[in-house]
Protein backbone atom coordinates (compact mmCIF):
# COMPACT_ATOMS: atom_id res chain seq x y z
CA UNK A 1 0.00 0.00 0.00
CA UNK A 2 1.40 3.39 -0.97
CA UNK A 3 0.95 6.56 1.03
CA UNK A 4 0.08 8.52 -2.10
CA UNK A 5 -2.98 6.36 -2.90
CA UNK A 6 -6.29 8.14 -2.46
CA UNK A 7 -7.69 7.63 1.03
CA UNK A 8 -10.84 5.89 -0.26
CA UNK A 9 -8.75 3.30 -2.13
CA UNK A 10 -6.65 2.63 0.96
CA UNK A 11 -9.75 2.20 3.13
CA UNK A 12 -11.32 -0.13 0.56
CA UNK A 13 -8.15 -2.25 0.44
CA UNK A 14 -8.01 -2.44 4.23
CA UNK A 15 -11.69 -3.41 4.43
CA UNK A 16 -11.10 -6.25 1.97
CA UNK A 17 -8.12 -7.48 3.96
CA UNK A 18 -10.07 -7.39 7.23
CA UNK A 19 -12.96 -9.27 5.62
CA UNK A 20 -10.58 -12.01 4.43
CA UNK A 21 -9.04 -12.28 7.89
CA UNK A 22 -12.46 -12.51 9.52
CA UNK A 23 -13.48 -15.26 7.10
CA UNK A 24 -10.22 -17.07 7.76
CA UNK A 25 -10.93 -17.24 11.49
CA UNK A 26 -14.61 -18.07 11.24
CA UNK A 27 -15.87 -21.64 11.80
CA UNK A 28 -16.46 -22.07 8.10
CA UNK A 29 -14.24 -24.61 6.41
CA UNK A 30 -14.55 -23.23 2.91
CA UNK A 31 -11.43 -22.35 0.93
CA UNK A 32 -10.21 -18.80 1.40
CA UNK A 33 -7.89 -16.91 -0.93
CA UNK A 34 -5.73 -14.45 0.99
CA UNK A 35 -3.65 -13.37 -1.98
CA UNK A 36 -3.12 -14.84 -5.41
CA UNK A 37 0.35 -15.98 -4.34
CA UNK A 38 -0.85 -17.46 -1.03
CA UNK A 39 -3.89 -19.73 -0.98
CA UNK A 40 -5.16 -21.36 2.18
CA UNK A 41 -7.50 -24.33 2.03
CA UNK A 42 -9.00 -25.48 5.26
CA UNK A 43 -9.80 -29.16 5.58
CA UNK A 44 -13.40 -29.92 6.49
CA UNK A 45 -14.44 -32.54 9.02
CA UNK A 46 -15.76 -34.71 6.19
CA UNK A 47 -12.53 -34.49 4.18
CA UNK A 48 -10.53 -35.38 7.27
CA UNK A 49 -12.62 -38.49 7.95
CA UNK A 50 -12.44 -39.54 4.29
CA UNK A 51 -8.65 -39.27 4.47
CA UNK A 52 -8.37 -41.21 7.75
CA UNK A 53 -10.92 -43.94 6.86
CA UNK A 54 -12.31 -44.76 10.33
CA UNK A 55 -14.35 -47.96 10.49
CA UNK A 56 -16.60 -47.29 13.49
CA UNK A 57 -17.91 -44.53 15.77
CA UNK A 58 -15.08 -44.97 18.29
CA UNK A 59 -12.52 -44.27 15.57
CA UNK A 60 -14.63 -41.44 14.13
CA UNK A 61 -14.79 -39.86 17.61
CA UNK A 62 -11.02 -40.25 17.93
CA UNK A 63 -10.30 -38.64 14.57
CA UNK A 64 -12.78 -35.82 15.11
CA UNK A 65 -11.10 -35.07 18.46
CA UNK A 66 -7.79 -34.97 16.62
CA UNK A 67 -9.36 -32.78 13.92
CA UNK A 68 -10.55 -30.28 16.54
CA UNK A 69 -7.07 -30.06 18.04
CA UNK A 70 -5.16 -30.00 14.77
CA UNK A 71 -7.39 -27.94 12.47
CA UNK A 72 -9.60 -25.93 14.82
CA UNK A 73 -6.69 -25.32 17.22
CA UNK A 74 -8.68 -26.38 20.29
CA UNK A 75 -6.63 -27.30 23.34
CA UNK A 76 -9.43 -29.58 24.51
CA UNK A 77 -12.92 -30.56 23.38
CA UNK A 78 -16.28 -31.32 24.95
CA UNK A 79 -19.08 -33.70 24.00
CA UNK A 80 -20.79 -30.74 22.31
CA UNK A 81 -17.65 -30.01 20.27
CA UNK A 82 -17.52 -33.64 19.10
CA UNK A 83 -21.26 -33.59 18.32
CA UNK A 84 -20.82 -30.47 16.17
CA UNK A 85 -17.84 -32.08 14.41
CA UNK A 86 -19.99 -35.14 13.57
CA UNK A 87 -22.63 -32.80 12.17
CA UNK A 88 -19.96 -30.89 10.23
CA UNK A 89 -18.76 -34.18 8.76
CA UNK A 90 -22.34 -35.00 7.81
CA UNK A 91 -22.22 -38.44 9.39
CA UNK A 92 -24.73 -39.79 11.92
CA UNK A 93 -24.03 -38.63 15.47
CA UNK A 94 -23.61 -41.57 17.86
CA UNK A 95 -26.38 -41.83 20.43
CA UNK A 96 -23.85 -41.96 23.29
CA UNK A 97 -20.76 -39.88 22.53
CA UNK A 98 -19.54 -40.24 26.13
CA UNK A 99 -19.28 -44.00 25.58
CA UNK A 100 -17.12 -43.45 22.48
CA UNK A 101 -14.92 -41.03 24.41
CA UNK A 102 -14.58 -43.52 27.29
CA UNK A 103 -13.52 -46.24 24.85
CA UNK A 104 -10.82 -43.90 23.53
CA UNK A 105 -9.73 -43.23 27.12
CA UNK A 106 -9.50 -47.00 27.70
CA UNK A 107 -7.23 -47.27 24.64
CA UNK A 108 -5.05 -44.51 26.05
CA UNK A 109 -5.89 -42.07 23.24
CA UNK A 110 -7.84 -39.42 25.22
CA UNK A 111 -7.37 -38.01 28.70
CA UNK A 112 -9.49 -35.68 30.75
CA UNK A 113 -8.58 -32.00 30.59
CA UNK A 114 -9.58 -28.93 32.58
CA UNK A 115 -13.29 -28.13 32.35
CA UNK A 116 -14.19 -26.01 29.35
CA UNK A 117 -17.08 -23.58 29.82
CA UNK A 118 -18.09 -25.57 32.91
CA UNK A 119 -18.22 -28.84 30.98
CA UNK A 120 -16.01 -31.90 31.11
CA UNK A 121 -13.39 -31.84 28.37
CA UNK A 122 -10.73 -34.10 26.93
CA UNK A 123 -7.56 -33.91 24.90
CA UNK A 124 -5.43 -36.38 22.98
CA UNK A 125 -2.63 -38.10 24.86
CA UNK A 126 0.81 -38.52 23.33
CA UNK A 127 -0.25 -42.11 22.55
CA UNK A 128 -3.31 -40.71 20.77
CA UNK A 129 -1.19 -38.28 18.79
CA UNK A 130 1.14 -41.10 17.73
CA UNK A 131 -1.85 -43.23 16.73
CA UNK A 132 -3.24 -40.34 14.68
CA UNK A 133 0.12 -39.80 13.00
CA UNK A 134 0.37 -43.46 12.06
CA UNK A 135 -3.29 -43.40 10.95
CA UNK A 136 -4.16 -45.97 13.63
CA UNK A 137 -2.39 -48.77 11.78
CA UNK A 138 -2.86 -50.98 14.81
CA UNK A 139 -6.64 -50.57 14.68
Q: pLDDT tier at 138 (50, 70, 90 boundaries)?
A: very low
pTM of the complete model: 0.69
* pLDDT for residue 101 is more than 70: yes
Measured from the Cβ of residue 130, the count of other Cβ atoms closer than 10 Å reads 13
What is the pLDDT averaged over residues 93-99?
96
In this predicted structure, the answer to whether residue 123 has a pLDDT above a threshold of 90 is yes
Sketch out the chain's domains with CATH numbers.
Answer: 7-40 (no CATH), 45-133 (1.10.10.10)
Residue 34: pLDDT band by 50, 70, 90 thresholds? low
In angstroms, the CA 59 to CA 16 distance is 40
pLDDT, greater one: 105 or 12: 105
Look at residue 121 and give its three-state secondary structure.
strand
pLDDT in tens, 8-33: 888 888 888 888 777 766 655 555 45
What would the pLDDT profile of 54-91 be if each residue is shown by its tens digit?
999 999 999 999 999 999 999 999 999 999 999 999 99
Q: Which has the closest alpha carbon to 27: 94, 88, 69?
A: 88
- CA 125 – CA 72 distance, rounded (Å): 17
Amino acid sequence: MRNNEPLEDRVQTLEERVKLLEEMFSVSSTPIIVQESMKIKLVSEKEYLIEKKPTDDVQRTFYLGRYLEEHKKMESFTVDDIRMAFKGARVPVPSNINDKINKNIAKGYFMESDPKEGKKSWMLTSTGEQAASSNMESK
